[in-house]
Amino acid sequence: MRLRPLGWILVVVVLGLVTLVPAASAQDSGYVGSDLYRMYCASCHGTGGKGDGPIASSLRYAPPDLTTYRQRAEGKWDPEEMRRIIDGRQPVKGHGGADMPVWGDAFKQSRDGFSEEKVKARIDALSAYLEEMQAK
């Protein structure tokens, strides 16, 4: 991954937050997808998911517009594929490669992680939020 020096600093700061800040709520899983998105995804993908986050221009490849995932997938939403993309521990064909953090590992190592159940809960909350973001 080729980043400008400022881009590397921002990536390190964002990834560092994973280990410092839990994203708990009163929902069933304990996680709110919109909170997780703002914390872990918005810096690259933008608050509205359009790929225009504050560090997007520092990345080698532009982050995709997440609001058009369903459209690009011919109107289908595959929650399992979305979970695999977010998790990143098992590469998904057509996914952007090394520019996106491996959130499965990061979530497992976070302060309230340490279990696959908590990793899955976070990823499920993010996936559900991304499904809500899809353009109508």
Residue ranges covered by each domain of the chain: 5-20+31-133
Buried/exposed code over 53-66 (b: 16+ C-beta within 10 A; e: otherwise): bebbebbeeebbbb
Helices (H) and strands (E) in the chain, counts: 7, 0
On the 0-12 / 13-18 / 19+ scale of CB atoms within 10 A, 123 is: buried
Coil, helix or strand at residue 24? strand
Fold type of domain 5-20+31-133: Cytochrome Bc1 Complex; Chain D, domain 2 (1.10.760)
Q: In this predicted model, what pLDDT tens digit does every residue of 10-34 receive, in sequence order?
A: 554 555 544 444 433 334 568 999 9
Q: Residues of the chain with pLDDT > 70: what percent?
A: 72
Strand partners, 12: none
